[in-house]
Structure 1
Amino acid sequence: MPVSAEMHREIVGQVFARVPDLTTLTLGAIPRPLGSTLDHVFGIGEKLVLIFQRGGQLFGTASLLLPASQPPVPDALLDLAANLVSAALGRHRAERRVAESEARFRTIFDAVSDAIFVHDAATGAILDANERATEMFGHPADDLRRLGIGPLSAGADGYTLENGLARLQAAAGGPPQLFSWHCRHRDGRLFWAEVHMRRASLGGVRTVLVVVRDRTARVEEELARARADDEANHASRLESIGRLAGGVAHDFNNLLTAIIGNVELVCEDLGPLHPAYDRLRDVLKAADTAASLTTELLAFGRRQMILPRIVDPNTVVEAAARLLARLIGENIQLVVTAAPEVWRVRVDPMQFQQVIVNLATNARDAMASGGRLTIGTANVVLDDIFVRGHEGISPGRYVRVTVSDTGQGMPADVLPHVFEPFFTTKTLGKGTGLGLATVYGAVRQNGGIVDVESAVGQGTTVKVYLPAVT
């Protein structure tokens, strides 16, 4: 039955109404004469309207035409029927509103660019997760609810299930939590995320809302910047040490030249039969040793005279390998893996060969019980990302010379110091600490860089990058 605004005001609060004729029932659509005729023809008796409303909200109405032969319907029965239907319609409308609200919430929940988890505040279990969470961690939503936060965490260094639950409990009973977390993807890949936790009550259940934002790119950028800063500081420190060492070595070399020259003249004047001759020869040997040290210091300080020319790196490596075959000992296997058609480089070939010999000698000393020494060459193109972490080079074509061993390796705290002059991990009397310092100075003097990778028990790999001739 259609309801006019006037009738709506009249029926508010009612559950049924008895209507006198069809004209009233149809709001005038059926004229009275026609209505009387229809009553007579169809034997229509009582005309009723059931009004379905709840809390002042009208859901609708239903018209009932009863036969004239039927006795009037009791008011109580009409009241009961109208109230039952009104209650059912009210529930249906409320359920529909809830469903629509949940659909809107789910749409927004799944459209957010961050991963969102809903955790039970008491147990830490995952109650719900959005689509971004399934994409970020690689697990379907059902698996996320079943797995919990343990498999989603890196699992070490403070990023374990226990650490995660402690964070959840802190958020459930206190202020919001904001922190970085090391996460694990389903494929095993680790990544960094920014996590925000806040307690909330959803449907009467105490929960913790967790928002996870992937910040891998930002962390990698920060790490690259930190590495670049460390590299720049390290290079600056070595540069300062190099200038100091080179200056001292230059002056000291001049003094040695005078000492050696005069001692040699005295030896010639006295002759080998003089009682002091042997002692003077010992002085010469000591002075020659000192001169060798100053030569290495000059190389580190990049003040050594060099004669650079365009060379084939493989030719230099092969010449060094022939020399090393007699130096490294029978218990060490020497393997040379020279790349074919390696690019040419502009270096002092003798200085380049000395770099390889120094690196190989260090590798030999790290393999007291024997092992494998590998020397290789390769063409590489260094991009902006690599260059940002290394001071003093530009992107482009380089030749990489790699010297690796299977020796004892070095701890992480030693690596930043390996190029410093007189720094050594060898026992007293086993080395001067100038081998790698000389390598560093020589490579830098020829426009290249040196990288060292090492771990205790896993050997050491030194990579020398020299700019290719274009």
Structure 2
Amino acid sequence: MSAWPKRRSLALRSHLILLVIVAMLPVLAFSAFVLLRFSQSEFAVAENQLSERVHLISAAVDRELENTKAAMKLLATSPSLQDSDLVTFHQQATEAARVLDVDGGIVLFDATGQQLVTTRRPFGDPLPRRPNLELLDRVFETGQPQISDLYVGVPTNRRLLAIDVPVFRDGEVVYDLSTAITPDRLSTLLAEQQLPPDWLASISDRKGTIVARSISPERFIGEPVNPSLLAKMGQAVDGSFPHVSREGIPVYTAFARSPISGWTVAIGVPESAIDTPLYRSLLMLIAGGTVLVLAGIGLALLLGRRIARPIGSLSAAALALGRGRTPGDPTPGVREVDAVGWALRKADERLRQRADERDRAEEALRASHERTVEILESISDAFYALDADWRFTYVNRRAEQVWGRPRESLIGKVLWEEFPQSLGSKSERALRRAAKERSAVDIETVSAVLDQWIQLNIYPSSSGLSVYFRDITERKRAERELARHRDHLERLVEERTRQLTTEVAERQQAEEALRQSQKMEAVGKLTGGIAHDFNNLLTVIAGNLDLLRGKLGEQPRLLRLVSMASLAADRAEKLTQQLLAFSRRQRLRPRAIDLNQVVTGMEDLFRRTAGERIEVRTILSPDLWPAMADQNQLENAVLNLVINARDAMPDGGRITIETANLLLDAENASQHPDLAPGRYAQIAVCDTGLGMPPDMVLRAFEPFFTTKDVGKGTGLGLSMVYGFVRQSNGHVTIQSAEGEGTTVRIYLPFAGTSASEAPESRAPQGESRSGSETLLVVEDDADVRALAVSVLGDLGYKVLEAATGDAALPLLMARPDIDLLFTDVVMPGSLSGVDLAQQARERHPALRVVLTTGYASSLVERERLAEAVEILRKPYRPADLAETIRTALDR
């Protein structure tokens, strides 16, 4: 072989080698360029994918919170809350909690944090206060829904996230409606995103506390995030950066902040998942280039031919990828070029997977939007939404009905152009203020468009304003009517208060009078009982003195002693009669009398009694009505009043005796509890004396109470007057003041007939007479009974005795020969004297009866018996007893 061919062959080989090298350099350079661009593209794709995924998760979190918050806001407009009907609202909230499937239930708080309603407990159970008031205070201060950071619930000791919305009434926040979700709900949300197993997703609250995590949530929930991530979260924008996870794995991290909750959503991808394929491709490129250079010239042409086809395929794949089409399988050739082709194919698959995920997110967003629209279409309030240019973006069905315009004619139109009458109105100012201050505004105003009262609730959103309004014309009309009725009621209450004040004063006066009357009644019962016992004692004393006088004969000294004792007994009898008069138990003989005649007939006596230094004058009514009373007792009463008036004027003065008619209606009679309405004749005794203080006036009628010096009065004068008048069904009053004199008025009931003369009382007839009849003496007082039995026995009567009516009745039944029953009226046991006499006369009609008593009221019982009944008043003397018994037997 010649040298030239060898040289040509070497040159050819050299040229081939040079050609291969020259040919390989562009290929290697192009491959390096493609790999660099691919690595940049792959990193950008991964970064975009991370950013899109983190924003999708953030949107899912917002959607979850927004759905819950929208449902809570809708529940906050419940009419039962506006009417404070918490029982009905508890039922609504329980149903809402079941539908929403909220973990923490639904709770209603007042401004102090006190739970009013909770779906976790039956209505009416005692409820605690909220321990942390920070979130509640923000709701009441801003009037905006609030979402809390992660906290531990006190009752359940569970980690929770609270969602609170305000409840408005008349434009003011009155309640805080709260619910809570657990971090598990957000962790489930992360799991639903179907992230690659080695990708790490987390959600952290505003304080940087982890509230949800896709990997090991039970380990890291409640822990703080990585400091480098916390520092990036403090920046104003979203982004991505490399850092080390809590497990110590280097990752590329992208994060986004939720505009609704302020929480941060972060996704971390291990650096090895992105860097390793790129490093491997670079090493393969270097190794392949070295192999290609060392392969020599023999492979130069083959490699040249084989390189062209893969590069063309790679270019076509890149072009198809750039046009959005799926690149075909790469043409086999150079391994590095094939790897780039397959990487492009993988990138296409990832892009398409990301597009599918975006489509699913958009579908979920559309579903959420449809649910929101369904809610807005079903509410009773009219609703519309505006963008930042005041254009309608949404109008619900209720707003169409209220405005009378289809929503198609409003969507996209400017509010002020479609409703120019709103310009300058209170509604416009409220809308502009809400848009400017980015805060909720609630007002009540007269709509310039509808010419009716509306309640307007305006809430700013990220895209503009959300506006609710409702017709409150009827409510305003009812409020005005209620205010009118309230004013009228207040006037009525004021008037009634004045009436009640007057009535209370009158009632107090009447109660005081009633207490005084009850006091006098109690004292009267006491004095009556004392007088009854005194009568029994005086009967024994006086009777035995009379018997003793008859047995002394001519013994002047002893007779004088007996006379003195009898005189004392007479005085004691008079005293008991005064006590009986006060207790209204004296015996009266009422008849129709003319008070003018009584005063005229006693006028001289009044003047003699008053003395020369006191003027006595009378003022008599010409047409005075006749009064029903005992004239003798009335004369004694008036004389007692004149004597008291005289004693009250030691230096002289004037006594006026006046008569008048008095007609009392029910209202005036109510001021005197013991006085019935009707006609009365009045006699008054007035003096100009010293008078009495109020405390003495209240006690003036009490027995033995006197303002006179010791030894100058018994204190029974006014009490006798009081008892006589009350027993006569009348009334007596005293008006007095120190230094202004005293006036005593006596009211006596109208007689109904003209005055007549009093019947003469029957005087004892003849001397004491004896007899031989059989008598039964019934007396519970042993001494009185012994006296009566002794006197009657001395007169020749056959006398039987018994201590009680119960003991006497069998004797009467067994002894039909008893001619007369002499019995006390008031006795212990089941039978009184009247009952005993009545039963005895039913069996023995011819039986004569004599009743003895010291009580006038008991004499009324006489009417229950036949006329053959005599009355012997205690205390009695032996002569009175003998005369009464003989009179009864002789009838």
TM-score, normalised relative to structure 2: 0.29
**Who is 1:461 aligned against?**
743
2:606 is matched with 324
- Residue 439 of structure 1 aligns with an amino acid whose one-letter code is V
- Which residue in the other structure is 1:219 paired with? 501
Of 623, 639, 645, 1:357 maps to 639
1:9-408 mapped onto 2 (5 Å cutoff): 215-270=497-552, 274-408=556-690
Q: Secondary structure at the match of 2:609?
A: coil
Deviation of residue 374 (structure 1)? Answer: 0.7
Q: Residue 355 of structure 1 contacts residue 439 of structure 1 at CA under 8 Å; is this kept in 2?
A: yes
Provide the secondary structure at the position in 2 that maps to 1:221. helix
Give the letter for the 2:526 counterpart: L
Q: Which amino acid in the other structure matches residue 562 of structure 2? A: L
User: Residue 624 of structure 2: SS of its match in structure 1?
Assistant: coil
CA offset at residue 236 of structure 1? 1.6
**More strand, by proportion:** 1
The one-letter code matched in structure 2 to 1:302 is R
SS in 2 for 1:253: helix
Distance across 2 between alignment mates of 1:226 and 1:309 = 36
How many residue pairs get matched? 278
Q: Does residue 435 of the first structure (1) align with residue 717 of the second (2)?
A: yes
Q: Deviations over 1:167-205 (max 9, x none)?
A: xxxxxxxxxxxxxxxxxxxxxxxxxxx9xxxxxxxxxxx
| Max Rg structure | 2
3-state SS of 1:422 partner: coil
- Measure, in 2, the Cα distance between the counterparts of 1:354 and 1:274: 36
Q: C-alpha separation between the residues in 2 aligned to 1:216 and 1:368?
A: 46
Q: Which structure 2 segments of 5+ residues have no match?
A: 1-388, 390-422, 426-482, 753-891
Secondary structure, aligned partner of 2:646: helix
Contact preservation (8 Å) 1:379, 1:398: yes
Amino acid in structure 1 at the alignment position of 2:588: I
Residue 157 of structure 1 corresponds to none
**1:414 is matched with which residue?**
696
Maintained 8 Å contact 1:409/1:457: yes
Superposed displacement of residue 439, structure 1 = 0.5
- Cα distance in 2 for residues equivalent to 1:407 and 1:439: 20
How many Å separate the matches in 2 of 1:364 and 1:268? 44
> Could you say which structure has the higher helix fraction?
2
TM-score, normalised on structure 1?
0.54
The one-character-per-residue Cα deviations of 1:370-395 (angstroms, maximum 9, x if unpaired) are: 11111110011112222111122221
Distance 2:656 2:503 in 1: 33
**Alpha-carbon offset, residue 426 of structure 1:** 1.3
Q: Distance in 2 between matches of 1:223 and 1:232?
A: 14
SS at match of 1:461: strand
Check conservation: 1:452, 1:462, Cα contact below 8 A: yes
Cα distance between partner residues in 1 of 2:510 and 2:673: 7
* 1:174 alignment partner in structure 2: none
C-alpha contact (below 8 Å) 1:419/1:440 kept by paired residues: yes
Go from structure 1 to structure 2 and tell me whether the alpha carbon gap of 1:272 and 1:228 turns closer, same or farther (over 3 Å shift): farther
Q: Output the CA distance in 1 between the equivalents of 2:496 and 2:671.
A: 23
Deviation at 1:307, TM superposition (A): 0.8
Q: Could you say which structure has the greater relative contact order, defined with CA pairs below 8 angstroms and 6 or more residues apart?
A: 1
Answer yes or no: is the 8 Å Cα contact 1:320–1:356 preserved in 2: no
**One-letter identity of the residue aligned with 2:601:** A
Structure 1 Cα separation of the partners of residues 544 and 424 of structure 2? 119
**Closer, same or farther in 2 for the Cα pair 1:375/1:231, shift >3 Å?**
same
Indicate conservation of the 8 Å contact 1:424/1:433, yes or no. yes
| 1:312 partner amino acid | D
**SS of 1:442 mapped into structure 2:** helix
TM-fit CA distance, 1:271: 5.7
The one-letter amino acid paired with 2:650 is A
1:393 match: secondary structure = coil
Listed one character per residue, the Cα deviations across residues 137-174 of structure 1 (whole Å, up to 9, x for unaligned) are xxxxxxxxxxxxxxxxxxxxxxxxxxxxxxxxxxxxxx
* d(CA) in 2 for partners of 1:445, 1:364: 26
Q: Deviations over 1:344-377 (max 9, x none)?
A: 1111111111111111111111111111111110
The change in CA–CA distance for 1:386 and 1:282 in structure 2 (over 3 A counts) is: same
Amino acid at match of 1:416: L
Instruction: Give the SS at the match of 1:404.
Output: strand
Mapped to 1, the partners of 2:487 and 2:599 lie a distance apart of 57
Determine if contact 1:406/1:459 at 8 Å carries over to the other structure. yes
Tell me how far apart the structure 2 counterparts of residues 114 and 408 of structure 1 sit (CA, whole Å): 51
**Cα distance in 1, alignment partners of residues 534 and 699 from structure 2:** 25
Q: How far is the alpha carbon of 1:401 from its aligned partner? A: 0.8
How far residue 264 of structure 1 moved from its aligned partner, in angstroms, is 3.6
Distance 1:114 1:320, change over 3 A: farther
Deviations 1:64-115 (A, max 9, x none): xxxxxxxxxxxxxxxxxxxxxxxxxxxxxxxxxxxxxxxxxxxx9xx97899
Percent identity for Structure 1 against Structure 2: 43
After superposition, the C-alpha distances for 1:247-274 in whole angstroms (9 at most, x for unaligned) are 2212212321331232244345436753
Q: Confirm or deny: 8 A CA contact 1:272 1:278 kept in the other structure.
A: no
SS in 2 for 1:408: coil
The separation in 2 between residues aligned to 1:321 and 1:264, in whole angstroms, is 39
CA distance in 1, matches of 2:679, 2:721: 21
> Residue 275 of structure 1 aligns to a residue in which SS?
helix
User: How big is each residue's C-alpha offset from its partner over 1:11-65, in whole Å with a ceiling of 9 and x where there is no partner?
Assistant: xxxxxxxxxxxxxxxxxxxxxxxxxxxxxxxxxxxxxxxxxxxxx959xxxxxxx
SS in 2 for 1:453: strand
Paired AA for residue 326 in structure 1: R
For 1:181, the equivalent position in structure 2 comes to none
Partner AA of 1:284 in structure 2: S
Displacement of 1:313: 1.3
Q: Is 1:452 aligned to residue 734 of structure 2?
A: yes
- Aligned AA (1:435): G
Alpha-carbon distance in 2 for matches of 1:322, 1:445: 28
Maintained 8 Å contact 1:447/1:466: yes
| 2:674 counterpart SS class | coil
AA aligned to 1:348 is D
